[in-house]
Chains A and B, each alone.
Chain A
Amino acid sequence: AQKVTQAQTEISVVEKEDVTLDCVYETRDTTYYLFWYKQPPSGELVFLIRRNSFDEQNEISGRYSWNFQKSTSSFNFTITASQVVDSAVYFCAGWDSGGYQKVTFGTGTKLQVIP
């Protein structure tokens, strides 16, 4: 079965610091997708990125960047120059072609950006 590990339960940073959120995805499948979602205090999860297992290129979107390393099964998320609006719970998730055809979520990392 798939397993998503987000070892960091809570992180606090001061505004403008960079912060990296870790995610490790374990699966027996070679074809899979990884996702990151943001859950602000309002509660609704917002999709941030999807990456497939064959694409190891880093991705950058504004202050957000993602680093996927298949060799270590890691899909880490970096926020550069953090802002108070980045305060949220961030979930990593994975889907693979085997199993139940469903997405498995990690337990989430709560990020607090202090002004």
Chain B
Amino acid sequence: DGGITQSPKYLFRKEGQNVTLSCEQNLNHDAMYWYRQDPGQGLRLIYYSQIVNDFQKGDIAEGYSVSREKKESFPLTVTSAQKNPTAFYLCASSISADSPLHFGNGTRLTVT
């Protein structure tokens, strides 16, 4: 079955460490996205990519980095520069920018 796989489901890190969240899709979608979800704030866009080897900053890109070397993969690195990294992270993909988003199950990151 086609879909988006995010791993791991839960991730724990010490403050000051970088951590990379995985996102893989087999839907053959061109566009991929990373969202952050905090209680009461909805989903906020971190980065998005509409094509391989290209990506753009979203609304809250500071402290995050991404790469898009393959169509299927869009990993997100949470760096030590991100001041409040503890959150629920959702990866999504779509056929095009105006199409419905398909979401993964999310990764809950806790930094202490």
Contact = CB atoms under 8 A, between A and B. Distances in A.
Interface in B46-87: 48, 50, 56, 58
B106 A43 contact: yes
Contact of B105 (A43, A91, A95, A107): A43
Contact of A35 (B35, B40, B100): B100
B104 A50 contact: no
Nearest to B50: A101
A97 B40 CA distance: 27
Contacts of A47: 100-102
A58 to B, nearest CB: 19
Contacts of B58: 100, 102
Contact of A100 (B35, B41, B56): B56
Interface residues of B, number: 25
A105 B42 contact: yes
Interface in A3-45: 6, 9, 33, 35, 37, 42-45
Residues of A in contact with B, size category: 20 to 34
Contacts of A9: 40
B27 interface: no
A107 B41 contact: yes
A103 B111 CA distance: 28
B106 A105 contact: no
A108 B44 CA distance: 12
5 contacts: A33-B98, A42-B105, A45-B43, A47-B102, A103-B45
What are the 8 A-B residue pairs with the smallest beta carbon separation, nearest first?
A: A107-B42, A105-B43, A47-B100, A45-B103, A101-B97, A43-B106, A105-B42, A44-B105
Interface of B: 33, 35, 40-45, 48, 50, 56, 58, 88, 90, 92, 97-106
